Structure 1
Amino acid sequence: VDRGLGGTTRVASSDFSLVITVLFFGGNDDREALAFAMRMAEHPGISLNVVRFIPSEEFKPENVKLEISEDHASCSVETRLVDIEAITELKAKIKEQESSLSNSESESLIVYEEKIVKSHEEVFEAIKECSKSNLFLVGKSPEGSVASGLHVERSDTPELGPIGN
């Protein structure tokens, strides 16, 4: 929490550069991570990359527990709709930012990309491509078929979730 007590040790925003990457699989926790990152991206020294993982037609999760009930199906559809709404808000913020950039500023500070993945190996490869990031944000319990397909053999830190391990 910055209480403004830094005095002379404060860093000017022109001397500050941080790259944050949000790994978005879907679900409440990922939406919260995205909202937090968007708020952080309001700082001029922060660049935000959002990577959304979308399963391809051939995607076959390894450890999926199927629950067939009307409540679960409607919850999944509602979750997807709210996820789409969050991504739409992100895209609107990117457009707003691009329209406010002057010609001298060439790059947007918020970048959104979608990765269509066929297996959990492709998910890990996509995460490795983001290695230049200073900070990764991801929900503790990501939802969706891509996240459910990530298999963790043994977890010393279950509080980090499947991506943190």
Structure 2
Amino acid sequence: MKAFLKLENGALDDLMAHLLPSGSEEEQAAFLFARAVRSDHQVTFEVAETKKLGPGDFIVQQDDYLELADETRAALIKRAHDIDMSLVELHSHPGPWPAGFSYADRLGLQETVPHMWWRLKKRPYLAIVVAKSGFDALLWLDNPNIPRPLDGIVEGSRMLKPTNFSLGGWG
């Protein structure tokens, strides 16, 4: 089954400006509230809302690590639950490296995804990490412990493919 994240025209550039601001050395984050629309051979995550996080949304925000404040996590879960949507987590790696999830990211996702899966009634969860060179993505579509690839981000006529660096090293 193919899987895509669908964005409105201009949304990707807006997200990238937030996630990789000029002159910033700190990781940044945003969440998308998206509806997973399934057909026989495809699932498309259609974005309904965007929440760009700021310094007050984290208990730790460094150049190589982010940790959400409990209040932020609770508010995101509540909003996704209230509007019956999946969450799409995005964060940045501002360094010169290729896009891929770090060891700390993987550990965090192994803990976070099953919790989100339970709290959001088995709705899929998508995590994306962006770098100046591109992005990588992991999707938990039918199982909170086994990620699969995202096939791409679609914005208008533009289709961007993830690096898929992280999928092989999962677990």
Structure ranking higher on relative contact order (CA contacts 8 Å, 6+ apart): 1
| Structure number with larger C-alpha Rg | 1
Does the alignment reach a TM-score above 0.5? no
Give the helix-richer structure, 1 or 2. 1
**Structure (1 or 2) with the greater strand fraction:** 2
TM-score by length of 2: 0.29
